[in-house]
Amino acid sequence: MKEGSVLFITAFTTADDSHKVISNNSKRIGKNSYIKPNGEKRTFFEPGELKSIFNDYKKTHYWEGLGPEHRHGDNPIERHALVEAVFQK
């Protein structure tokens, strides 16, 4: 990133229920990164990991927790474990 750049990140954490499902049913390609049978790649961050990775950056916003309840079509209501971050170099 160039000096003054801003990076916005929203991602699932390893606390999300989907992490266990995907890690058990997909090929591991990196730390908490997987490729699903359909070719989709998924990466999850451990709690506090983004703070560590971007330790030298200014943290404009940082939040970890459960996102809002929602559903996809007729599926059950769910909530995702998320991390949101805004870093500036």
- Give the pLDDT mean for 8-34: 96
Tens of pLDDT, residue by residue over 22-80, are 999 999 999 999 999 999 999 999 999 999 999 999 999 999 999 999 999 999 999 99
CB 28 within 8 A of CB 59: no
Query: What ranges do the domains of the chain cover?
Result: 6-88
Q: pTM to 2 decimals?
A: 0.84
Q: Where would I find the H helices in 1-89? A: 17-25, 49-53
Indicate if the pLDDT at residue 11 is higher than 90.
Answer: yes
- Look at domain 6-88 and name its CATH class: alpha beta
Sign of CA dihedral 61, 63, 69, 72: positive
Assigned token pair, 87: 């870093």
Assigned token pair, 55: 């330790």
Cα gap 6→36, rounded to integer Å: 30
Strand partners of residue 59: 87
